[in-house]
Amino acid sequence: MPRLPMTIPGNLEALAPEIPAGVLDEPFRAACERLDRYIGALVREMASALDLGASEEPGYDRIVAERGWNDGGSLAVRWLIETLDLYGLTERTSGGWRLVPGPAAASSTEIRAEAERLLPAAGPAYEVLELCAAALPAVLRGELRGQDALFGPTTLGLWFDYFSNSNPHYALNNVITGAAVARAARPGARILEVGGGGGSAAEAALAALTQAGRPPSAYVFTELQPAFLRRGARTVQRALPAGCECRALRFDINLEPAAQGLDGARFDVVFGVNTLHLAHDLAATLANLRALLAPGGAIVVGELLRPSPIAPVHLELPFTLLDEYGRVPLSDGIRERPGFMSAQGWTRALAAAGFREVTVIPAQIERCAAIYPGFYCGAVAARG
Ligand SMILES: C[S@@+](CC[C@H](N)C(=O)[O-])C[C@H]1O[C@@H](n2cnc3c(N)ncnc32)[C@H](O)[C@@H]1O
């Protein structure tokens, strides 16, 4: 398996023909390569700040316990150790591992400055990672909760900028999911979105539906957090095609839809981007969403997809600091580690919830990840 960072092969585009032409072009791949290099430099610096140069223990949980670190940071420590390995920065010792000696080519600060000079729109992706890296020592000392470090009045604007189609490092999942929604919908479809955040996935889906000549007749935009709901609802209003009715409501994927304003509602497509992995009881959430589908309706789950059920995701750091991300029950063959799941895990979860005709987009996502181990964006679609 190739290591990060690497030159992303140009044939990635040919392996993912479902992604609109030009999206994986050379400037985009170059931006991803810069972000990959940045994360490589960041993990070195984080390991050094935490005095994590070697361990006689192979696993992260014993390290967290031995150092007396707070459990709220343990997924981030796991991410750190696995990402060091993904970058070839560690080597095995008799009982554990140690950092490979040698200087970094450039500091994270230098790489970030150059990346933002070349592509200012990528700034939020760097800002979020830097915020997380800076917060981790205090989280591990038990002085700060991950969610408080990440989400507060001063960082709300950063998250609007991060979950945005202007951020090239977030937009790809929206583009892929939008393409999958447009494929699944007939003209005049009624669409329900869950976990719609600031509305970037809605923007991409509405654009894809309109471009495909299948504008929807109704769009129900939902989100849990009131500040995101307000912002997202405004974004959706601006992106709505003519004649499409719109409703925005607060909706928790962990609760029954009927009690949340969706009693008797039926949809042709239900979708969410990077939200459904947060379900506490995934089987119950998928069953609830399936019950909202009209005959012939479809679900589209846009997600970061692990290359294998337990593979690390080098972009995962921010999410590892959130309690709700880590506190999800594991299930053999479906979710074998907290957080993001693999395409195979989603396929099984959807089939177990009674969905059929499950398809993954891009269909060759495993080959994409085999030639470039930083490729995780995808969508899983199924009929109800
Ligand atoms: C990764 S963000 C998705 C961003 C969104 N797709 C966009 O385009 O801006 C995940 C979203 O899920 C929401 N969320 C978290 N827990 C949720 C729950 N239990 N039910 C519904 N939404 C939830 C969060 O508030 C957040 O906006």
pLDDT single digits (tens) 58-76: 789 999 999 999 999 999 9
What's the distance, CA 324 to chain centroid? 14
* pLDDT value, residue 102: 80
Residue 297 banded pLDDT, cuts 50, 70, 90 = very high
* pLDDT value, residue 289: 98
Say whether pLDDT at 2 is over 90: no
Q: Which domains does the chain have, with CATH numbers?
A: 12-162 (no CATH), 168-383 (3.40.50.150)
Residue 104 banded pLDDT, cuts 50, 70, 90 = confident
The mean predicted confidence, pLDDT, of the chain is: 96
Say whether pLDDT at 57 is over 80: no
Residue 33 banded pLDDT, cuts 50, 70, 90 = very high
Residue 379, phi then psi, degrees to nearest 5 = -145, 150
Q: Is the CB of 165 under 6 A from ligand 1?
A: no
Q: Is the CB of 228 under 6 A from ligand 1?
A: yes
* Distance, CA of 229 to CA of 175 (rounded, Å): 21
Which long-range CB contacts under 8 A does 206-213 form with residues at least 24 apart?
206/178, 206/236, 206/239, 206/240, 206/241, 206/244, 207/178, 207/239, 208/175, 208/178, 208/179, 208/181, 208/182, 209/178, 209/181, 209/182, 209/185, 209/241, 210/241, 211/182, 212/182, 212/183, 213/187
* Distance, CA of 38 to CA of 119 (rounded, Å): 14
* pLDDT value, residue 95: 85
Tell me the torsion sign for CA atoms 44, 50, 53, 55.
Answer: negative
Residue in 335, 221, 215, 355 with CA at minimum distance from that of residue 282: 335
Secondary structure (H, E, C), 209-249: HHHCCCCCCEEEEEECCHHHHHHHHHHHHHHCCCCCEEEEE
Burial category of 103 from C-beta neighbours within 10 Å (exposed 0-12, middle 13-18, buried 19 and up) = exposed
3-class secondary-structure state, position 270: strand
Task: Write out the two tokens for 99.
Answer: 């950092």
Which of 278, 328, 376 is the best mutation target for the ligand 1 pocket, counting ligand atoms within 8 Å of the beta carbon and taking the most?
278
CA 157–ligand 1 middle distance (angstroms): 15
Q: Is the CB of 173 under 6 A from ligand 1?
A: no
| Per-residue pLDDT tens digits for 142-186 | 999 999 999 988 999 999 999 999 999 999 999 999 999 999 999
3-class secondary-structure state, position 314: coil
Q: Is the CB of 257 under 6 A from ligand 1?
A: no
Task: Please give the single-letter amino acid code of residue 241.
Answer: P
What's the distance, CA 295 to chain centroid? 29
* Lowest-confidence pick of 9-23, 90-104, 210-224, 295-309: 90-104
CA angle 378, 11, 275 (to 5 degrees): 10
Say whether pLDDT at 105 is over 90: no
| Per-residue pLDDT tens digits for 124-150 | 999 999 999 999 999 999 999 999 999
* Distance, CA of 283 to CA of 294 (rounded, Å): 19
